[in-house]
Amino acid sequence: MKQYLEYYLTWFRIGLFTFGGGYAMLPMIEKEVIDRHHWTTEDDVMNYYAIAQCTPGVIAVNVATFVGYFQKGVLGALVCTLGVISPSILIITAIAGVLSSFSDLAIVQHALSGIRIAVCVLMSTSILKLFKKGVIDAGAGFIFAAVLALAVLSNLSTVVLVVASGVLGVVFSMIKAKTGGIRNE
């Protein structure tokens, strides 16, 4: 019982002290999970990160689930996951309450209008980073352009587009492997 409480509190701290999620959490995870508690190793954490990016969902949650699972099975995974999301729930619930009761004030309206520009800046830089990582060749460029066009112009659901692009990824990779094979002969 004490052990589970320690899992919960450790991941609670990680959730509480990292801003930005995903990779921003890495230093805090290293400090708490590797250096302090020796629950896992640096190499394992890098592996978890790699897989967390290739599986659906929030990256930090995926890493917490991994570490918890390898410590204490399914229950450990659940405790760590709840720990890492608890601070968000508490803090955001408080902010949402406060913002909704003050959102009619002129000063808050002006601040929010300013913040919208900040959001555009943040999204532009994030999108550019993701673009560089994802659009690596002509095939990926085609998928990017096709999905963007369909998402803007058609009513196809996001799920359909995600599934279709996964399938296209497999098809393109097969074609690449085949043409590469011919060149080798």
Structure tokens at 116: 């919208």
Is 46 one of the binding residues for other proteins (CB under 8 A)?
A: no
CA distance 58 to 74: 18
DSSP state of 131: H
Point out which span in 1-9, 34-42, 129-137 binds other proteins (CB under 8 A).
129-137
Both tokens of 20, joined, read 């930005």
Which of these ranges, 1-9, 32-40, 157-165, lies near other proteins under the rule CB under 8 A? 157-165
Site for other proteins in 68-107 (CB under 8 A): 69-70, 74, 77-78, 81, 84-85, 87-89, 91-93, 95-97, 99-100, 107
3-class secondary structure, 12? helix
Please work out, in degrees rounded to the nearest 5, the angle formed at the alpha carbon of residue 7 by the alpha carbons of 4 and 12: 125
Which is closer to other proteins, CB of 5 or CB of 128? 128
Please, what is the end-to-end C-alpha distance for the chain in angstroms?
A: 62
Q: Smallest distance from the beta carbon of 32 to other proteins, in angstroms?
A: 14
HSE of 17 in the Cβ direction (CA atoms, 13 Å)? Answer: 13
Alpha-carbon distances, residue 8 vs 96, 120, 144, 165 (angstroms): 25, 35, 40, 37
Provide, rounded to whole angstroms, the least separation between the CB of residue 156 and other proteins.
10
State which of residues 3, 101, 125, 179 lies at the interface with other proteins (CB under 8 A).
125
Q: How far is the CB of 66 from other proteins (least distance, A)?
A: 6
The answer to whether 63 touches 52, Cβ cutoff 8 Å, is yes
Q: Which of residues 134-153 bind other proteins (CB under 8 A)?
A: 134-135, 139-141, 143-148, 151-152
Q: Is 33 in the site for other proteins (CB under 8 A)?
A: no
Pick the binder of other proteins from 2, 57, 182, 184 (CB under 8 A).
57
Q: Pick between residue 2 and residue 170 the one whose CB is nearest to other proteins.
A: 170
